[in-house]
Amino acid sequence: MSKKRVLTGVTTTGIPHLGNYVGAIRPAVRAAQADGTESFLFLADYHGIIKCHDPEMIHTSTQAVAATWLACGLDPERTTFYRQSDIPEIMELNWILGCITAKGLMNRAHAYKAAVQENLDKGQEDQDHGIEMGLYSYPILMSADILMFKANEVPVGRDQIQHVEMARDIAGRFNHRFKEVFTLPEVKIDENIELLVGLDGRKMSKSYGNTIPLFETEKKLQKSVNKIITNLKEPGEPKGTDESPLFEIYKAFATADETAAFAQALSDGLAWGEAKKLLSAKINAELSDKRERYNELTANPAQIEDILQAGAAKARKEARVLLDEVRDAVGIRALR
């Protein structure tokens, strides 16, 4: 029986933080080790340039995100790990899919609709003011990413469900009109995903500037942890687990027993300062080896590049076969 194909992409617009690790990286690396699956993971840099127009950030982020995945245990022998922009076949497929995608479908995309709504709210006469084609056709490129490798399952965050459904729609339309070339992908949402809170108690997110970066030095980590908000309760006063985001972060890095012991210690009056030291130690215990590996990798970007190039070579072999089939199906073929 053929293996189940799992595919997902990560946009290269920032530096990974603890929330990305707990919610996306750690579970994905574990899932990629499962028998019976074949995984494809890529850096979505062409998606990155839609949202981020800072070339240095795109570049730095590409390196940081790639090094993070490798440091966290992604095995490039088992997972096909590549950079989207190294697979030119994806862009060719992107065009062909664009030629069968209804404009109305794109009008319904959440990200585009949100941008239009923002214009309307501001009283802009032109509802498309400042909206670029990249944002508008984002779901077509994402469909090309997914359909190119016949992905069966696409694990993503909730905000991306609609995009995977659009990929399914577009695949169905192509298969119906031309030939059964594409596999219909299914979206996979992990119901038990831990949503990590940030320094200020809201969801930890690049957009809120409330993150703890994953691989900063031990000293900086302690400094970030010290910024987590608490209340004014003194040492010795009983504290509840809901009185500071630090408990939830601790829980994401500890076993059930350790978490229960930590809750008990808080209730017995553990000082916030001590609690923060325990939290830093806990995070460190899980991340210090990975941090070392991350630092080695980022000190040697050529090594990361080699890994990505090997992944791209593997991916392109497959991409070529599918693209030839697609081109043939639409009538683009040699005259011999």
Written as one string, the DSSP assignment of 81-100 is EEEGGG-HHHHHHHHHHHTT
44 binds, among ligand TRP, ligand ADP, none (CB under 5 to 8 A by kind): ligand TRP
Is residue 284 near ligand ADP by the rule CB under 6 A? no
Helix then strand then coil, % of the chain, to nearest 5: 60, 10, 35
23 binds, among ligand TRP, ligand ADP, none (CB under 5 to 8 A by kind): ligand ADP
19 known member of a binding site: yes
Residues contacting ligand ADP: total by CB under 6 A:
13
Per the document, the length of the chain is: 336
Amino acid letter, 243: E
1 known member of a binding site: no
133 known member of a binding site: no
Is residue 195 near ligand ADP by the rule CB under 6 A? yes
Query: According to CB under 6 A, which one of 205, 230, 284, 303 is a site residue for ligand ADP?
Result: 205
Q: Rank residues 166 and 283 by Cβ distance to ligand TRP and give the closer one.
A: 166
Q: Rank residues 233 and 314 by Cβ distance to ligand TRP and give the closer one.
A: 314
* CA gap 306, 310 in Å, rounded: 6
Q: Rank residues 47 and 291 by Cβ distance to ligand TRP and give the closer one.
A: 47
Q: Rank residues 131 and 229 by Cβ distance to ligand TRP and give the closer one.
A: 131
Is residue 32 near ligand ADP by the rule CB under 6 A? no
Binding site for ligand TRP (CB under 6 A): 7-9, 11, 44, 47, 142, 145-146, 154, 156, 160
60 known member of a binding site: no
Query: 3-class SS at 184?
Result: coil
Is residue 228 near ligand ADP by the rule CB under 6 A? no
Q: Count of CB atoms within 10 A of residue 54's CB? A: 11
User: What is the gyration radius of the CA atoms in the chain, in angstroms?
Assistant: 22
* CA gap 162, 177 in Å, rounded: 22
Is residue 19 near ligand ADP by the rule CB under 6 A? yes
In terms of Cβ atoms closer than 10 Å to its own Cβ (0-12, 13-18, 19+), residue 235 is exposed
